[in-house]
Amino acid sequence: MTGPAKPVGPSPRPLPRPMPPPAPPRPVRVSVPSPPAGSGEPAGRPGPPLDLEKLLAARLHAVKVRPYLADALFALHVVEDRSVPTMAVDVHWRCYVSPGFVARTPVEELAGVWVHEVSHLLRDHHARGERYAREHEEHGPGERSETGARQDEAWGRLRRNIAADFEINDDIYGDGLPLPAGAVLPSLLRLPTGLLMEEYLRTASMSGLAADLAWLDCGSGADGQHRPWELGPDGAHGLSRQQRDAVRFRVAEGIKGRPGQAPEGWRRWADEAFHPPQPWRQLLGAAVRSAASAPGAGENHSYRRPSRRSAAVPGVLLPSLRRTPPRVCVVIDTSGSVSDAELGSALLEVAAIARAVGGRRDLVSVISCDAAAGIAVPLCRAENIALIGGGGTDLRSGFARALRSRPGPDVIVALTDGQTPWPSAQPPCRTVVGLFPRPAGAVDEEDPDYVPDEPPSWARVVTIG
């Protein structure tokens, strides 16, 4: 048994936990002791025993300072295992613990590790990691040798683990959970905090960290890759998929029910845990498409002209598929600070969708405020869209101008950051609002109590970006 219990001096790089020797060879467990029911403590093994009391005191600490995670923390099943570097979780919500790691780590830091590991599971890092690996072909059938492929796989695993740790570590510590001597933080690579695991994976190479963090291993719960020491789906005390979802759901509901307690990052997670945000392009596309296909516009069946099938079946009245190209009017409001890049991509998207649903180029028009002319004019010229110039400083005048045009639009798409008054009455056509999200509070320096109106309920709102 290679006990990773050597005391380590101050490390040159900040590390989340006391560093064991890098990448210890992990012996596959010879026998898998099935823990006695409930106790979670396999007995009769050599070496220092697991200090279960210390570990559970740390769990209590974590529950006290993060009460909203209590259900998830208690649902974890502890498995003692000497081949785990520190602590690790598998996808079945078992928590593998190295006794040596527990012995040399203070209780308050252990509490942080508990929260860290449970965060991997709550945030579904294994499924997201697998999905990322599949989409980016990290398991691709390389022509390299077997060992080369395996190294690649190990590197992919480590990358996903580091990115997942970045996502977790930048918002779980503090407020009763001491930040360990130096956690794996995005600042190591001079990356911004608050991003998601996938974003870190996309933007950063992380190769500089690889050598130092080779030991880092939070188990298959962090990246979705099976480890030799894990008990697998048939082992005892695993949670089924439904049970995992139920626990995650209860935690999410608990956070949503008492929003005052949980920090921003957890609240955002709770909102999105079961409804991950969809790409805005698709949402905007669906919204514009369904608005443009409303009765009276777009492609639908009508009896206005007989179907061409009618000649073949005399005596039968058939409707025909008629296409009434929708007139789409895009209202751009730039009284706030919408960047040219944001605006440009959204406007291009609207134009493309409007064409796809059958609108001709001349039926797509843009009404812009003067501030936006800088971006809107060349874009519209390139796209051959008629630009109706000028406009008010608030969205109401933009709507009024759009409705004044003859013939009137079938769909109004408003691109705005929401810091604007809205029309009080529903316009006589479908409305889609593309909303550029703005952080609350950064609104008005003069009147801190000013809260911009929500987009009205009659508009379909798609958050962009």
Partner 1 sequence: MNSSTLLSAPVRAADTPAPTPTAPSVTGTQLALADDLLALLRTTTTEPRPDDQLEALTLAVAADLPVLLWGEPGIGKTAALTQLAASLDLPLTTVIASVHEPSDFSGLPIVGDDPAVQGVPMAPPQWAVELVRAGRGLLFLDELSTATPAVQAALLRVVLERRVGAIQLPPDMRIVAAANPRASAADGWELSPPLANRFVHLHWVHDRQVVVRGLGGVWPRAELPRLAPERLPEAVAFARRAVCGFLEARPTLIHRLPSTETRRGGAWPSPRSWQAALTLLAFGTAASVSRDVLALLVRGTVGDGPGLELLAHIDRMDLPDPESLLADPASAELPVRGDLRQAALEAVVAAVGARPERERWEAGWAVLVRALETGAPDLLVAPATALAALRRDDWEVPEAVERLTGVVGLARRADRSVRRATTLANAGRATGARR
Sites for partner 1 among residues 386-445 (CB under 8 A): none
Among 76, 88, 122, 204, binds partner 1 (CB under 8 A): 76
Q: Does 181 bind partner 1 (CB under 8 A)?
A: no
User: Residue 394 belongs to what H/E stretch?
Assistant: none
Under the criterion CB under 8 A, does residue 250 sit at the interface with partner 1?
yes
Which residue number, 177 or 350, has a Cβ lying nearer to partner 1?
177
Which strand (E) or helix (H) includes residue 320? strand 320-324
Q: Which amino acid is at 173?
A: Y
Nearer to partner 1, 145 or 242 (CB): 242
Exposure on the CB side of residue 98, measured as CA atoms within 13 A: 28
Q: Which of residues 109-138 bind partner 1 (CB under 8 A)?
A: 111
Task: Please identify, among the stretches 63-71, 121-129, 201-209, 338-346, the one whose residues bind partner 1 according to the rule CB under 8 A.
Answer: 63-71
Among 32, 57, 154, 185, binds partner 1 (CB under 8 A): 57
Out of 72, 122, 188, 375, which residue is the one contacting partner 1 (CB under 8 A)?
A: 72
Instruction: Using DSSP bridges, classify how beta strands 364-368 and 328-332 pair: parallel, antiparallel or unpaired.
Output: parallel
**Residue whose CB is less far from partner 1, 233 or 389:** 233
CA distances from 380 to 205, 213, 235, 341, 364 (A): 38, 50, 61, 15, 10
Q: Does 38 bind partner 1 (CB under 8 A)?
A: yes
Contacts to partner 1 from residues 301-330, by CB under 8 A: 301, 307, 313, 315-319, 321
- The helix or strand, by DSSP H or E, that contains position 308, with its residue range, turns out to be none
Rounded Cα distance, 416 and 383, in Å = 21
- What is the C-alpha R_g of the chain? 29
Contact flag: residue 179 with partner 1 (CB under 8 A): yes
Given the rule CB under 8 A, which of 140-148, 154-162, 217-225, 245-253 is the region that contacts partner 1?
245-253
With respect to partner 1, which residue has the nearer C-beta, 380 or 433? 433
Task: With H, G, I as helix, E, B as strand and everything else as coil, classify residue 392.
Answer: coil
Q: Choose, by CB under 8 A, the member of 65, 149, 154, 185 that binds partner 1.
A: 65
Per-residue contact track with partner 1, 264 to 303, x per CB under 8 A? ----------xx-xxx--xx--xx-xx--x-----xxx--
Please identify, using beta-carbon distances, which residue of 280 and 399 lies nearer to partner 1. 280
Q: In the window 354-393, what residues touch partner 1 (CB under 8 A)?
A: 356
Q: State the maximum Cα–Cα separation within the chain, in Å, rounded to a whole number.
A: 93
In this structure, are residues 143 and 172 in contact, taking their beta carbons and an 8 Å threshold? Answer: no
The CB-of-378 to partner 1 minimum distance in angstroms stands at: 27
Question: Does the protein bind partner 1 through residue 196 (CB under 8 A)?
Answer: no
Check if the beta carbon of residue 330 is closer than 8 Å to that of residue 359. no
- Distance CA(62)–CA(64), nearest Å, equals 5
Is the backbone of residue 460 left (phi > 0), alpha (psi -120 to 50) or beta? beta
Interactions with partner 1, residue window 157-176 (CB under 8 A): 174-176
Tokens standing for residue 6: 């050597």
